[in-house]
């Protein structure tokens, strides 16, 4: 922007900087607060007043989390669904997008229309639940986290846009050399599509990592996810503290489990985030150009 | 190739040459039919007295009985009005927020600072609502919460106020956390539109003596207009849908009446109480209203601003 020389312009600049600084603090501080409180001795933390740094440094909360078999198991389930779910969804959605990116594909417009209509119309949660639980019998099976998440119209459109922009010559020369469409897709197209694959993989990974609703609907005690456990800790905690905190008994154990679990479930996102955010943003850009 | 049978076999041959392409495409087509179109067909149970034993095919038809019951159901009416109030307040405060953020970021002179604030502002979008609600309980705890303590200090609330357990503060918290979570992410699309403005326009305006506010008003905002209108049409279509994750997770024994929105009510009647048909009727009501709202928003936008989504 053009630098303002006037008094009004300069003061506007400083107010603007100040407001955005406030936004940065309001965004970041909640995360900072749970991190420092989680590293504080739990009994001491129950007194409150931990604002800028831990008062009594301790890793007791984390020890408690790592002694909890439910949480360890849920961690395993969440990692498994994130890795398997992401890899399969990228390939499955990508394969569709590649197919409909070919103008010669028979029924191309019809397939695309089938997909796009679902962005505006859906059967709603109950019929969906009945299909997954009653007709496909996926309830209580690990695959209920994988199969219903294999495809996303939005991601398919992002990939379709990317594939359309690839140079035709590369695939044509491979065809002359006798390669079929499967080989072209896996060995030629996928390797040059890393930017869009990374974007889609990240969207999927975040969704899998944060998922709790499908676990609540279709899971069982062996399929609990981290977010689901966290949700249970928070809601049991909140009902206890809201009803009983005035009586002066707060559950120290529940509080420390809550804080350390919150930090552990969020850490992967916060740590990976600075390195990958440009891919996320790319996704929005492609999407907005298309829309 | 000119005779009819040859033409037919050429279609077969074309399919055969595309067999690998079809192998890539058709699994997802099947997936879409199973996970999207069969549930759409399942909407018919809204007009049935569905029982799992009889299934979709054999459950008895009851016409509009579910809808008649719906409109006489006080809990449904309450959830409808909760939904609309929450959505409208979210729209009024939450819709302009990312536009303001984009304009403010664009006016920043320190590019490094701009990049840092921008990156930070997207972060909450990627954490789960479970975590956000956990943060709220932690920061707003009347005994230990930092934000609670600060508000007591500033005399905004009394010292024993449980913000998360009060119907009075519920709406404010719903709207604030929604904005907190999405403002940065939603500003990206506006920043992209601003980046597309020809810098010569700004220079010419400056030469003509336009100050900064005039440049924003006459150049930046008109450049954002199409984006704003399209997102506004989509938001109006979404007025009848509320954020299930947020409201379901924010409810507790003290706030469940305030958190009773259509999606939560439909979940509770359908999947908790097992009234599948009644809950599907609620879902169908939502879809129809959403479609009408979006159509109306699109129509009026086309008449007033000449811009429209479809």
Q: What is the domain partition of chain B in residue ranges? A: 75-304
CATH architecture, domain B75-304: Orthogonal Bundle (1.10)
- Residue percentage of chain B with pLDDT more than 70: 97
Q: Which two tokens stand for residue B97?
A: 């927020």
- Asked if A17 lies within 8 A of B52 by C-beta distance, the reply is no
- SS3 per residue for chain A: CCCCCCHHHHHHHHHHHHHHHHHHHHHHHHHHHHHHHHCECHHHHCCCCCCCCCCCECCHHHHHHHHCHHHHHHHHHHHHHHHHHHHHHHHHHHHHHHHHHCCCCCCHHHHHHHHHHHHHCCCCHHHHHHHHHHHCCCCCCHHHHCHHHCCCHHHHHHHHHHHHCCCHHHHHHHHHCCCCHHHHHHHHHHHHCHHHHHHHHHHHHHHHHHCCHHHHHHCCCCCCCHHHHHHHHHHHHHHHHHHHHHHCCCCHHHHHHHHHHHHHHHHHHHHHHHHHHHHHHHHHHHHHHHC
State the DSSP code for B60: P
| pLDDT of B2 above 50 | no
pLDDT bin (cut points 50, 70, 90) of residue A285 is low
Place of tokens 């403010």: B104
Lowest mean pLDDT across A77-86, B19-28, B248-257, B300-309:
B300-309
Residue of B nearest to A28 (CA): B120
Residues on chain A touching B199 (C-beta within 8 angstroms): none
Residues on chain A touching B18 (C-beta within 8 angstroms): 104-106, 181
Residue of A nearest to B271 (CA): A126
Instruction: Determine the structural domain holding residue A87 and report its residue range.
Output: 73-209
Using a CB–CB cutoff of 8 Å, tell me whether A105 touches chain B: yes
Residue of B nearest to A9 (CA): B212
- Asked if A230 lies within 8 A of B15 by C-beta distance, the reply is no
- Asked if A212 lies within 8 A of B283 by C-beta distance, the reply is no
Residues on chain B touching A284 (C-beta within 8 angstroms): 185, 188-189, 192
Tell me how far apart the alpha carbons of residues A80 and B188 are, in angstroms, rounded to a whole number. Answer: 32
Lowest mean pLDDT across A47-61, A86-100, B275-289:
A47-61
Residues on chain A touching B209 (C-beta within 8 angstroms): none
pLDDT bin (cut points 50, 70, 90) of residue A248 is very low
> Is A275 contained in some domain?
no
The CATH number of residue A192's host domain is 1.10.3720.10
- Asked if B120 lies within 8 A of A46 by C-beta distance, the reply is no
> Is A242 contained in some domain?
no
| pLDDT of B11 above 50 | yes
Query: What distance in Å separates residue B182's CA from the closest CA in chain A?
Result: 11
Tell me how far apart the alpha carbons of residues B218 and A203 are, in angstroms, rounded to a whole number. Answer: 37
Identify the pLDDT of residue A247: 44
Query: What distance in Å separates residue A127's CA from the closest CA in chain B?
Result: 5
Residues on chain A touching B149 (C-beta within 8 angstroms): 48-49
Chosen for mutation from B108, B130, B211 (greatest number of chain A CBs closer than 10 Å) is B130
> Is A243 contained in some domain?
no
Pair B195, B113: CB distance under 8 Å: no
Task: Give yes or no: residues A19 and A132 share one domain.
Answer: no
| pLDDT of B7 above 70 | no
Note the pTM of the prediction, 2 decimals: 0.90
Tell me how far apart the alpha carbons of residues A115 and A158 are, in angstroms, rounded to a whole number. Answer: 13
Residues on chain B touching A50 (C-beta within 8 angstroms): 144, 146
Task: Give yes or no: residues A115 and A186 share one domain.
Answer: yes
Task: Give yes or no: residues A24 and A101 share one domain.
Answer: no
Task: Give yes or no: residues A52 and A83 share one domain.
Answer: no
| pLDDT of A35 above 90 | yes
Q: How many CB pairs under 8 A join A and B?
A: 286
| pLDDT of B192 above 60 | yes
| Averaged pLDDT for residues A177-206 | 90
> Is A1 contained in some domain?
no
Task: Give yes or no: residues A117 and A204 share one domain.
Answer: yes
pLDDT in tens, B67-86: 999 999 999 999 999 999 99
pLDDT in tens, A1-17: 445 567 777 888 899 99
- Asked if B131 lies within 8 A of A262 by C-beta distance, the reply is yes
Identify the pLDDT of residue A4: 52
Number of domains making up chain A: 2
Query: What distance in Å separates residue B85's CA from the closest CA in chain A?
Result: 22
Q: Give the DSSP letter string of B279-310.
A: HHHHHHHHHHHHHHHHHHHHHHHHHHHS----
Identify the pLDDT of residue B80: 96
- Residue percentage of chain A with pLDDT more than 90: 53
Tell me how far apart the alpha carbons of residues A71 and A74 are, in angstroms, rounded to a whole number. Answer: 5
Identify the pLDDT of residue A60: 86
- Asked if B37 lies within 8 A of A281 by C-beta distance, the reply is no
Report the residue from B21, B117, B188 with minimal CB separation from A284: B188
Report the residue from A37, A114, A262 with minimal CB separation from B29: A114
Query: What distance in Å separates residue B92's CA from the closest CA in chain A?
Result: 20
Place of tokens 């305006």: B205
- Asked if B202 lies within 8 A of A2 by C-beta distance, the reply is yes
| pLDDT of B178 above 90 | yes
Report the residue from A95, A115, A262 with minimal CB separation from B32: A115
pLDDT bin (cut points 50, 70, 90) of residue B199 is confident
What are the beta bridge partners of residue A40? A57
Q: Which two tokens stand for residue A89?
A: 């969804």
pLDDT in tens, B108-120: 888 899 989 998 9
Using a CB–CB cutoff of 8 Å, tell me whether A119 touches chain B: no
Task: Give yes or no: residues A53 and A87 share one domain.
Answer: no
Task: Give yes or no: residues A36 and A128 share one domain.
Answer: no
Tell me how far apart the alpha carbons of residues B164 and B170 are, in angstroms, rounded to a whole number. Answer: 7
């Amino acid at each position: 922007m053009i630098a303002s020389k006037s008094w009004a312009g300069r003061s506007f600049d400083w107010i603007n900087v100040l407001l955005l600084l406030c936004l940065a603090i309001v965004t970041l501080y909640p995360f900072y607060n749970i991190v420092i409180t989680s590293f504080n001795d739990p009994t001491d933390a129950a007194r409150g007043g931990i604002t800028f740094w831990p008062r009594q440094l301790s890793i007791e909360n984390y020890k408690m989390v790592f002694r909890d078999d439910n949480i360890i198991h849920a961690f395993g389930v969440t990692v498994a669904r994130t890795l398997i779910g992401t890899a399969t969804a990228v390939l499955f959605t990508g394969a569709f997008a590649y197919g409909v990116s070919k103008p010669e594909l028979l029924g191309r417009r019809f397939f695309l229309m089938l997909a796009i209509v679902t962005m505006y119309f859906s059967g709603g949660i109950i019929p969906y639940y009945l299909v997954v639980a009653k007709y496909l019998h996926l309830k209580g099976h690990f695959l209920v986290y994988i199969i219903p998440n294999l495809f996303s119209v939005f991601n398919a459109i992002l990939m379709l846009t990317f594939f359309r922009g690839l140079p035709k010559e590369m695939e044509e020369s491979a065809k002359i050399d006798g390669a079929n469409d499967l080989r072209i897709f896996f060995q030629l197209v996928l390797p040059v599509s890393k930017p869009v694959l990374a974007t889609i993989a990240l969207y999927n990974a975040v969704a899998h990592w944060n998922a709790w609703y499908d676990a609540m609907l279709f899971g069982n005690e062996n399929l609990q996810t981290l977010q689901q456990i966290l949700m249970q800790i928070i809601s049991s905690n909140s009902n206890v503290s809201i009803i009983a905190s005035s009586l002066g008994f707060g559950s120290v154990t529940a509080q420390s489990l809550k804080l350390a679990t919150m930090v552990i479930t969020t850490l992967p996102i916060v740590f990976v985030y600075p390195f990958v955010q440009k891919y996320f943003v790319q996704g929005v850009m492609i999407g907005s150009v298309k829309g | 190739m000119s005779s009819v049978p040859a033409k037919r076999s050429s279609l077969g041959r074309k399919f055969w040459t595309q067999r690998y392409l079809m192998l890539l495409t058709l699994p997802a087509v099947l997936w879409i039919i199973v996970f999207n179109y069969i549930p759409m067909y399942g909407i018919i149970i809204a007009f049935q007295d569905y029982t799992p034993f009889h299934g979709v095919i054999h459950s008895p038809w009851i016409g509009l009985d579910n809808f008649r019951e719906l409109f006489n159901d006080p809990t449904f009416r309450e959830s409808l009005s909760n939904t609309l109030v929450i959505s409208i307040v979210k729209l009024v405060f939450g819709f302009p927020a990312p536009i303001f953020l984009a304009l403010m970021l664009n006016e920043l002179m320190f590019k490094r600072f701009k990049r840092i604030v921008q990156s930070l502002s997207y972060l909450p979008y990627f954490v789960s609502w479970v975590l956000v609600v956990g943060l709220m309980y932690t920061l707003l705890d009347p005994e230990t919460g930092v934000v609670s303590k600060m508000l007591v200090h500033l005399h905004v609330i009394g010292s024993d106020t449980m913000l998360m357990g009060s119907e009075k503060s519920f709406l404010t918290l719903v709207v604030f956390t929604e904005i907190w979570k999405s403002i940065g992410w939603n500003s990206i699309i506006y920043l992209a539109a601003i980046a597309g403005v020809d810098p010569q326009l700004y220079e010419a305006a400056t030469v003509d003596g336009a100050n900064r506010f005039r440049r924003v008003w006459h150049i930046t905002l008109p450049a954002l207009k199409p984006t704003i209108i399209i997102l506004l049409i989509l938001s109006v279509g979404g007025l009848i849908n509320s954020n299930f994750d947020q409201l379901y997770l924010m409810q507790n024994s003290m706030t469940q009446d305030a958190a009773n929105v259509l999606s939560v009510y439909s979940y509770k009647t359908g999947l908790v109480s097992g009234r599948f048909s009644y809950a599907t009727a609620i879902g169908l009501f939502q879809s129809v209203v959403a479609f009408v709202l979006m159509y109306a928003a699109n129509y009026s936008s086309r008449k007033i601003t000449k811009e429209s989504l479809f």
